[in-house]
Structure 1
Amino acid sequence: MRDLPFTLDQLRILKAIIKEGSFKKAADSLYVSQPAISLQIQNLEKQLNIPIFERTSKRATLTEAGNLLLRYGGRILALCEETCRALEDIQNLQGGSLIIGASQTTGTYLMPRLIGLFRQRYPQVNVQLQVHSTRLISWSVANGQVDLAVIGGEVPHELKDILQITSYAEDELALILPRSHTFSKVPNIQKEDLYRLRFIALDTQSTIRKVIDKILHQHDIDSSRFKIEMELNSIEAIKNAVQSGLGAAFVSVSAIAKELELGIIHWAKIKNVTIKRMLSIIIHPNRYRSKAAETFSKEILTLFVTPHENQVFLD
């Protein structure tokens, strides 16, 4: 077999340049000098006998060959990382790493508790958590960049036949109100009362907003009739707005444990309506799964965390 016209270090450098957006930032992220980065790219182009960057006075962009090398290089590096994790498994969870993905709400409020439990049992395992939209996390699992993920939205249609999707636990969605609101003084409210409230919501394109609207529709609640006073870009901003008396909102119960404990917002119950969504675990069944990933799935994801009481029960 002929010698390869590139090295793993050169592929890592190319990936870093594109990820960081410049040669200088790539050099900083890899703890090497910028001239060393430039020399490696020059050597790579000589070895390939084809330019991989188009250079102008302002910036350098990838050529068609550069894009091809980046795409295949990413797959090569992912396989190398997978190999390293497999070798680390020989130490039987006395080391190694675990990369977990999660959608926004799940990753912010639920996963830190689960990871904390795992780290108590296996402190030598290096655990990384990546939090993105359900779509981005699903693709990361499919590409082998994430070992497993816990999501609250729907896996992209094109990945449903590729990924293994397992139901994990139900996540209740709460209607939250300011403590001063009239409805906070009654045991429950009627569905029709929802149309009298002023609502604070996430952007219409957000996954959580779509999930909430879909579930409400299943309970014969027409969210298009809601009076949306404002749209915010984070759950924390929505909670603060509700606490300040600006309106009502639907949020995951897992996101309001602290506020309920402190008594600074009111969880309004809707008569004869319980709104829940299903959380799912996703893995790629045809990729190597480390012992750390297997153990996390079996020992931690069989536990159900009750956010309001901050306790853990068998699901």
Structure 2
Amino acid sequence: MEFRTLRAFVEVVRQGGFSQAAKTVFATQSTVSKAVKQLEEEIGVPLLDRIGHRSVLTVAGEVVYRRGVRLLADRDDLLAELDEIRGLKRGALRLGLPPVGSSTLFAPLFALYRQRYPGIDVRLVEHGSAQLAESLRAGEIDFAGALIPTSEEFDWQVVRREPLVALVPASHPLVGRRSVTLVDLRETPFILFESGFALHRVVLDACQRAGFEPNIVAQSSQIDFMIELVGAGLGAAFLPRMIAAQRRQSAVRHLLLDEPGTEWHMAMTWRRGAFLSAAAQAWLDLVREIHNGD
């Protein structure tokens, strides 16, 4: 099995078609199609079921895709390690950061890293936790900011621990209390992050443990928009305390959320057992230096 044909197949699945995959691997669509066909012939079973203009993974295709992603990531690790052995003087650091908390937690780290290692090319991507985990699993990034606990596939270094606060309209009947539980808020509509964000899952899991399903009236990826919705009286939103404190509004009140299992544990995660380049190891060392003991 050649890595060339395996990468072509993986990119067809990842990009959702042959034409987009061809752009990713810098080849013609015909070349990509032939590579996938060669891989199917070598394995002896179809990997894609062609339905009209769409291609759907077969059962065998799902297995080859899942294993192929890991094989290609391991190959990239091998090549990176060989480059280090050959005395690579410059490098690249690929960081995946979540929208929630990145500016507060990681911007100062990023600036210090650039100051210490000006020759390193730092490549940043910003996504929700689910997409960052997939990118990390595929070896597309070296590190991802994520809430823990996370998958056993990953190691992590804690960066910050914060309780959540409930943001409610200034007219809410619970205003004046120091803290609230989710049960206290069960009759209040919820404004949550979109489903790809870890905080979405944290709040819903806690509601399930508390024995109710919340009335979700809005979902967004934009913190400021969510706060505006709270101020307009639409419902309650939830943010880490340090982030909420930076966005105070006269029409919104902050109530500490006294709910087990909802503490915000932001960490820097990486693939367990993966080779870390000198650039990546330097970033991890800096995170540990700044947040030692967190």
Task: Quote the Cα distance in structure 2 between the aligned partners of 1:80 and 1:105.
Answer: 32
CA contact (8 A) 1:167 1:280 kept: yes
1:230 to 193, 210, 217: 217
Give 1:115 shift: 3.4
Q: Which runs of 5+ in 1 are unaligned?
A: 1-5, 305-312
2:14 to 12, 16, 19: 19
Matches for 1:172-187 after TM superposition, within 5 Å: 172-178=163-169, 181=171
CA contact (8 A) 2:193 2:221 kept: no
TM-score computed with the length of structure 1 as normaliser: 0.67
Give 1:201 shift: 3.1
Could you list the per-position Cα deviations for residues 49-78 of structure 1 after superposition, in whole angstroms to 9, with x for gaps in the alignment?
Answer: 665444454434455555554344323321
> Aligned residue for 1:245?
233
Task: Quote the Cα distance in structure 2 between the aligned partners of 1:234 and 1:314.
Answer: 31
Give 1:22 shift: 1.4
Look up the equivalent residue of 1:288 and give its one-letter code. Answer: F
Moved more, 66-75 or 41-50: 41-50
Q: Does 1:171 align with 2:162?
A: yes
1:299 to 260, 270, 286: 286
Aligned residues: 289
Give 1:8 shift: 2.7
The alignment yields a C-alpha RMSD, in angstroms, of: 4.5
Identify if the C-alpha distance between structure 1 residues 234 and 257 changes in structure 2 by more than 3 Å, giving closer, same or farther: same
Larger Rg, first or second structure (1 or 2) = 1
SS of equivalent to 1:105: coil
CA contact (8 A) 2:179 2:257 kept: yes
1:287 to 267, 274, 289: 274
Q: Does 1:127 align with 2:123?
A: yes
Identify if the C-alpha distance between structure 1 residues 144 and 59 changes in structure 2 by more than 3 Å, giving closer, same or farther: closer
Q: Does 1:89 align with 2:53?
A: no
Look up the equivalent residue of 2:191 and give its one-letter code. Answer: A
Moved more, 282-291 or 98-107: 98-107
Moved more, 90-99 or 283-292: 90-99
Matches for 1:142-161 after TM superposition, within 5 Å: 144=139, 146-156=141-151, 159=152
- Identity among equivalent positions (%) equals 20
Matches for 1:1-315 after TM superposition, within 5 Å: 6-44=1-39, 52-63=47-58, 66-89=61-84, 94-102=89-97, 105-106=100-101, 110-112=105-107, 114-123=109-118, 124-129=120-125, 131-133=127-129, 137=132, 141=136, 144=139, 146-156=141-151, 159=152, 163-178=154-169, 181=171, 189=178, 191=180, 195=185, 198-202=188-192, 207-212=198-203, 224=212, 228=215, 230-234=217-221, 236=223, 237-256=225-244, 259-260=247-248, 263=249, 266-270=252-256, 276-303=263-290
Could you list the per-position Cα deviations for residues 140-162 of structure 1 after superposition, in whole angstroms to 9, with x for gaps in the alignment?
Answer: 65665543333224224xx2xx5
Task: Quote the Cα distance in structure 2 between the aligned partners of 1:204 and 1:54.
Answer: 32
Give 1:82 shift: 0.7
Task: Quote the Cα distance in structure 2 between the aligned partners of 1:177 and 1:202.
Answer: 13
Could you list the per-position Cα deviations for residues 98-146 of structure 1 after superposition, in whole angstroms to 9, with x for gaps in the alignment?
Answer: 3334556355864455434433433423334363336x65566566554
Q: Which runs of 5+ in 2 are unaligned?
A: none
CA contact (8 A) 1:217 1:223 kept: yes
